[in-house]
Amino acid sequence: MHDRPRARTMSLARVVLSSGRSVDLAELRLSSTYGEMPEDFPGYPCKPVNDMVIEGLLSTAARTSPATPVHLVPPPRAYPDQYAGAFGPVEILPSVACVGSFRSSALDPSHDPVLYHSALTVIWFQPTARLPCECDAEGSLRGVDWEGLARDCEL
């Protein structure tokens, strides 16, 4: 048997986590954070609305890939100096909601590296529709605890 270096898989991007682990972005869904709100919705960006947006992203991601764990990177919340309505103060999330399916080498060193990989679906928010890249990804995304959250999967 010959040892061959692993070829980089065809991915949308590679992100280097703070731990030093490289993870490949296999799939990415970008959406406007408040794009799903109907025009006649009587609300405004506030904590209850933001919690509904986040819960919707989490449940959709869990249904889409039930075998893969889902992790939410807690989003930054801005509180502009605006009138507080019936649902509390105005609270704004970054404008782009991201749901990414990431893959990396297996967590368990006893797993065959050809047959196993680790996987994690990550939800995060960012101000632009920019693709995360290498060490230039959002700091909160790079800080994901891969070893504690991802799961090994057999191909």
Which of the 8 DSSP states describes residue 105? E
pLDDT of residue 4: 39
CA distance 98 to 33: 9
pLDDT of residue 42: 60
Length of the chain: 155
pTM: 0.87
Which of the 8 DSSP states describes residue 111? S
The beta strand positions in 54-115, using DSSP E, are 70-72, 96-105
In the chain, which residues have pLDDT < 70?
1-9, 38-42
CA distance 138 to 127: 10
Sole residue written with tokens 């009138």: 83
pLDDT of residue 9: 59
CA distance 115 to 18: 26
pLDDT of residue 2: 38
Contacts of 86 (CB under 8 A, 6+ apart): none
pLDDT of residue 60: 96
What is the tens place of the pLDDT at every residue in 30-65? 999 988 776 656 678 899 999 999 999 999 999 999
Q: From 7, 9, 4, 12, select the one nearest 137 (Cα to Cα).
A: 12
pLDDT of residue 1: 38
